[in-house]
């Protein structure tokens, strides 16, 4: 039996993490939460996720800083990262992609789009 994919969910708001978990639980993935950028980095090291869903705006360490740290590591260069944010400006998307994001989803997250992107990445 194959090992289920491991996803790291990073957001500073509990309700956003709960929503992501509710959307993703039916996929049978192992879901790990980090409630901010400071928790995300050790969780990344410990869990070795197959995919990361990462909020951009967080008070302690923002998502782009977390992404930069992840991409700087050997393992992190190969892990797909989906940035999630309330920003809709083109410049924010460009900054996210330049930092190494594989996908960019806007809040409120569209469930069907989220599931499609998680499955393909």
- What is the per-residue pLDDT across 81-107, written as a single tens digit (0 to 9) for each? 999 998 878 888 899 999 999 999 999
pLDDT for 88 equals 78
Mean per-residue pLDDT for 19-33?
96
CA–CA dist 28, 116 (Å, integer): 14
| Tokens matching residue 40 | 């995300």
Place of tokens 């989906």: 82
pTM of the model: 0.95
Answer whether residue 49 shows pLDDT above 80.
yes
Q: Is 118 exposed, middle or buried (0-12, 13-18, 19+ CB in 10 A)?
A: buried
Answer whether residue 73 shows pLDDT above 90.
yes
CB 99 within 8 A of CB 108: no
Count other C-beta atoms under 10 Å from residue 66's C-beta.
29
């Amino acid at each position: 039996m194959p090992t289920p994919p491991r996803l790291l969910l990073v957001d500073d708001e509990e309700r956003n993490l709960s929503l992501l978990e509710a959307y993703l639980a039916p996929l049978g993935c192992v879901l790990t939460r980090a409630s901010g950028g400071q928790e995300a980095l050790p969780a990344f090291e410990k869990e070795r996720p197959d995919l990361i869903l990462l909020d951009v705006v967080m008070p302690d360490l923002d998502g782009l800083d977390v992404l930069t740290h992840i991409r700087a590591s050997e393992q992190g260069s190969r892990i797909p990262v989906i940035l999630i944010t309330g920003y809709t400006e083109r410049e924010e998307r460009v900054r996210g992609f330049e930092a190494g994001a594989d996908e960019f989803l806007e809040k409120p997250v569209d469930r069907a789009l989220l599931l499609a992107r998680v499955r393909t990445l």
